[in-house]
Amino acid sequence: MKPASRFHRPPPDADARRAVAPVICYPTDTLPRPDLGLYRAARAEAGKTGEILIPPREARCFEVPAGHFLRISAPRGPQVGDLNLWNAADLDERFYSGKTRALHGSHVGTGDRLWSSFPALRPMATITTDTLDWYGIDEFGGAVHDVIGTRCDPYTGNLLSGGHYHHCCHSNLTRALADHLGVAPARAERHVHDVLNVFMCTGFTRDEGRYFMKASPVRPGDYLELFAEIGLLGALSACPGGDCSARHSSDDATCFPLLVEIFAPAPGALAGWTAPPLNGYDRSHGR
Ligand SMILES: [Zn+2]
């Protein structure tokens, strides 16, 4: 597909084949719509129950009960965050960035859900507010809050340039979860998964389809807010890339802390809402 790897002549009908119109892989018209009006009304009356400031190049865990709200902000300067989510009662059910991408697109925004892994495949959280929703898709094809970038990790860093950098988001999330669970990092590591890149501005280059990043547009005062559809254990890493304008996987970038705040709805504010059930597929797989 890339210019440098083309070894075959186009067939006579190449233009016609390319001209076929695309179709959306997973139309979402049949998905139940989140009741954003209900969520926003509940949020307006919600009270703050806790907060945690995540130091640069570190991660921290936090719990968000079902029906509560989670706000992520960068109060001191532009900073990207790598978010993992688990079902607080069962760590095998965790955020599935690939299916979230297939359903909602490469970047997520208000009204999109964060879906969990098989076999549960249900909304874990719903994005209720994104102050960066004005950004849209820029001239380079970049947008904010991607579900394409996996997470920065020491293995890829070692592969590309050798060395043993220990403050990539993967390691930060591993240490945070290990501390939370009281287990060794090696046991926590298997639960760490592909992330939601909060505030990160990314896309694919037009010429070669390569993953790119650029300086995040997030500023103090901006935030992303989510409604917990099920009881969540979360972990958020303040990426060593800072605003991801130049480098990651090193201590070179200027980094800032991230703030996580939890809000509880007032009693009765979520009347009519119920946590989403597990996926309905019977799991017989044809046998
Ligand atoms: Zn990172």
Q: What is the pLDDT of residues 231-249, one digit of tens each?
A: 999 999 999 999 999 887 7
pTM of the model: 0.95
Looking at every residue in the chain, the average pLDDT score rounds to 96
CB distance 148 to 211 below 8 Å: yes
Residue 187 tokens, joined: 């046991």
Residue spans of the domains in the chain: they are 52-218+231-255
Taking the centre of ligand 1 as the mean of its atom positions, its distance from the CA of residue 82, in whole angstroms, is: 6
Q: What is the pLDDT of residues 87-139, one digit of tens each?
A: 999 999 999 999 999 999 999 999 999 999 999 999 999 999 999 999 999 99
Is the peptide bond prior to 55 cis by the omega test (within 30 degrees of 0)?
no
Q: What is the pLDDT of residue 250?
A: 78
Report DSSP letters for 135-193, one per residue: ----TTS-EEEESS-----HHHHHHHH-S----SHHHHHHHHHHHHHT--HHHHHTT--
Taking the centre of ligand 1 as the mean of its atom positions, its distance from the CA of residue 33, in whole angstroms, is: 31
Taking the centre of ligand 1 as the mean of its atom positions, its distance from the CA of residue 195, in whole angstroms, is: 9
Residues of the chain with pLDDT under 70: 1-4
